[in-house]
Amino acid sequence: MVEPKSIAFDAVDFLAKAGLGRRVVQLNPGEAFFSQGHPADSIFYLNNGRAKLTVVSSNGKEATISLLTVGDFVGEESLASVGGLRMSTATAITACTALKIEREEMVRVMHEEHTFSDLFLKFLLARSMRTQADLVDQLFNSSEKRLARILLLMAEFGKPGEPESLIPKISQETLAEMVGTTRSRVSFFMNRFRQMGFIEYNGGIHVHKSLLNVILHDQLPEHNARKPPIEEPPPTRSRPTSR
């Protein structure tokens, strides 16, 4: 008797379709996949669109710590423990399509399907390396180099295939949070990049390959190397003291 052949597991198909323990969700720009402090009971796989990951400190200060693109998982802290809480907030920047996978289903498929666990492990390693690179970038590079690197990452330079030179519209406040500087400095550097032909504005931001020169060769003209002036606060008038 000939035994029936088992159907090979298709990770791409699994991550594209709804099924037991997983469903496709659609998010509009500004909608949250999940919020910081909420129960961590699922993981998301981004099939389409762009999103960002933010954290809020105890005193209410918000910072953008990562930008998410197609092929990224988000919410993997749900696998660490049962009953844990979200450490950050994931929000759609553009219209997004994602697969929401319940924790139990994610654990099951990782144990049973080695091709899927290999794919997920590669993602975790890539994210770990990205986090280390972000830390090095923050410690040793100037603000303009950090901004150039973020724009190149958003345009997916360095990934297989052709880079997406047009990146979604993103506010200078968000870029400033990621760079670790002020919005006025980001505005100054963005204008300089545009004047030098590294980027263009047209609804979104067109990133040209020449922006790599800022990182690889530190090619910034001397007359453009000055920092934006720091505005002094207006003098305060002294008030007469009451007697």
Paired with 24 in beta bridges are: 99
| 160 pLDDT above the threshold of 70 | no
**Poorest-pLDDT segment among 17-26, 44-53, 146-155:** 146-155
CA distance 201 to 151: 13
- In the structure, what pLDDT confidence band is assigned to residue 40 with cuts at 50, 70 and 90? very high
- Give the model confidence (pLDDT) of 216-237 as tens digits: 766 554 444 444 444 444 444 4
> Are β-strands 51-56 and 204-207 bridged in parallel, bridged antiparallel, or unpaired?
unpaired
Tell me the domain boundaries of the chain: 11-137, 142-224
Q: What pTM value is reported for the model?
A: 0.76
Domain 142-224 fold is Arc Repressor Mutant, subunit A (1.10.10)
Helices (H), 158-230: 172-179, 183-195, 212-216
- Please list, in sequence order, all residues whose beta carbon lies within 8 angstroms of the beta carbon of residue 112, skipping any fewer than 6 positions away: none
Cβ-contact 53, 32 below 8 angstroms: no
> Are β-strands 73-74 and 42-48 bridged in parallel, bridged antiparallel, or unpaired?
antiparallel
Q: Would you state the structure tokens that stand for residue 191, as one six-digit string?
A: 């204008």
Question: Kindly report the CA angle at 223 between 218 and 225, in degrees rounded to 5?
Answer: 40
Write down the CATH number for the domain with range 11-137: 2.60.120.10
Residue ranges with strand state E in the chain: 22-27, 32-34, 42-48, 51-56, 62-68, 73-74, 89-92, 96-102, 166-167, 199-202, 204-207
Percent of residues, the chain, with pLDDT higher than 90: 49
